[in-house]
Structure 1
Amino acid sequence: MTRHFISIFALLTLFGCSSPSEPQLTKQEISTQHPQLSTSDGYQDYFQEWQGVPYKYGGTSKQGVDCSAFTQDALGSLHQQWLPRTTQYQVETGVKVSLSNAKKGDLIFFKTSVKVRHVGVYIGNREFMHASTSKGVIISSLDNPYWKKAFWQVRRVL
């Protein structure tokens, strides 16, 4: 009896703590929902390859990635552009540009709290791809009130 109870408790704990993953978008859905992600420049394939990868502070792989490792890999893979590893140093790279002049491939930075900074890759149409702490690698809109309030700056490194 005790064995069964322990087994059931272990299973409930294991599966009760897991969160459902975000549904993976197909290429067609990505094209429809995010037309600025063109197949010709590699952004669509790159995003599809990384979408849903979980956020992991300090992570640098598809097992788990943080925001600055994601931007470092994205610009390295898509543009052969080297970036420093951390948000702290990435924000010192390139030149600051206004949000209204942002172009695909620019880095977009946010101040999400007093000491916390976040970075993503601008993809056009007021959207950016990034490693979200809650949803993993996703595309978000700058029109979302959270990101609108936290917006800090855009840096052009290309």
Structure 2
Amino acid sequence: MRLILGLDPGLAATGWGVIVAEGNRLRHIAHGTVKTSATAPLAERLVALHDGLMTVIGDHGATEAAVEEVFVNANPQSTLKLGQARGVVLLCSARAGLPVAEYATRLVKKALTGVGSGSKDQVQAMVERLLPGVKVVGADAADALAVAIAHAHLGASLRKGLL
């Protein structure tokens, strides 16, 4: 049994989702979003993100983490802030002793929808289909659950160096 924490980094909102993977069977545990105040200074926002993620990790006892990689925005400042938030996500996971896998957005979309250019709506629909009975609240949490699901299916290939 693997308890996987999926993370979709963002400074304003970092999505998270926890699933159990037993072979090919998946089960939803929890999901949500850690939000920061847009009016707070950057350092305070990073601390809030850290504290929120450490609470999520402590509450759910994941055994491994999967993080979506950063894409480059047209705005360099936005990309830098996203990178800083991603650094906090990686730090929290590593600080908790979780092995961390990283996945490109296109690979996550391909793992769930069959195409790397799948829309956010398609990804969320597949998350809800693969985790029956779950109504995902928010695109960030849906993306985080998608990363966790992709890791559940692709993790063995990643560990074997096939991806």
Structure number with the bigger relative contact order (C-alpha 8 A, sep ≥ 6) is 2
Give the structure-2-normalised TM-score: 0.25
Give the structure-1-normalised TM-score: 0.26
Q: Could you say which structure has the larger radius of gyration?
A: 1
In terms of fraction of residues, the more helix-rich structure is: 2
